[in-house]
Amino acid sequence: MNKKYFYALVSVLSLCGFFLIWYLVTEVLHWFPPQALPDPMHIVRSFIRKWSSRAPDGGTLPQHIWASLHLALYGFLLGAVIGIPLGIIMGWNRTIDLLVTPMFQILRPIPPIAWIPIMLIFFGIGQTAKAAVIFVSTVTNCILNSYYGIKQTRDVHLWVSRTFGASSWQMLWTIAIPSALPMIFAGLNLSLNVAWMSLVAAEMLAANKGLGYMIQYNRMMARADYVIVGMIAITLVGAILTKILSMVENAVVKGRHLGEK
């Protein structure tokens, strides 16, 4: 507990130091003009104002957050529902592994943002294109981590279960999948972050609402304060989503912290 409080104190002090430096270079030393980098208090006022103000981009901050959030979660959940079972089957069944892996290895190196133009061509400027980008970015990481999680199942555990007469299905559900859960959740965590970033990038190119659109619009209007407000909103929402996923992992993955005690 002492270490926990110590690390929390260090984190708080580092944040205070960051904002202090920000205040010094903007309000005291005037190294940056207010139009380029507003001071922290100006950002706080803009953040509060944007909760109820639609100017200048036509939407309040909660509206932009919801527009991005529900689309990101839709693509993320769809990618997880398809990617995790597919990765498990690829890792467990040799025949399916040989059939699917070559195609997957061809598509895997393509970064998620690179899919944005092709999705816009196929689906046009709309929600479907952005959901498809999020799905592609999510499903790839879910397949990869689930696949390697299953592959890392210890042979001795499978041998012992086979000795006691367990079927292949029983070995998969009672040994392989539980041992692969940490890798699966690592893939979900990575997929969530990538999906969130991919959505914001897609909204910057083609959207009329969302945090990415808000940042891009205010950049063109030279409103650096609202650009930073959008960036802060992305950080806060991403941190909340990561925390929720971590809580789910702690509840599902049994014995995750036994080695830390």
Contact assessment for residue 226 and residue 46, using Cβ atoms and an 8 Å cutoff = yes
- 255's enclosing H/E stretch is none
Model pLDDT, residue 223: 93
- 106's enclosing H/E stretch is helix 94-107
Contact assessment for residue 227 and residue 215, using Cβ atoms and an 8 Å cutoff = yes
* Average pLDDT along the chain, 261 residues, taken 10 residues at a time: 81 92 91 90 94 92 92 90 94 88 82 82 82 88 92 83 81 90 92 83 78 91 93 91 91 60 41
What single-letter amino acid sits at 118? I
> Residue 152 and residue 148: Cα distance in Å, rounded?
6
Model pLDDT, residue 258: 40
Model pLDDT, residue 254: 67
Give first-to-last CA distance, the chain, whole Å. Answer: 11
Residue matched to tokens 């708080």: 12
**Token output for 179:** 């041992």
Model pLDDT, residue 1: 59
- Find all residues with CB under 8 Å of 120, minimum gap 6, and list them: 129, 205, 206
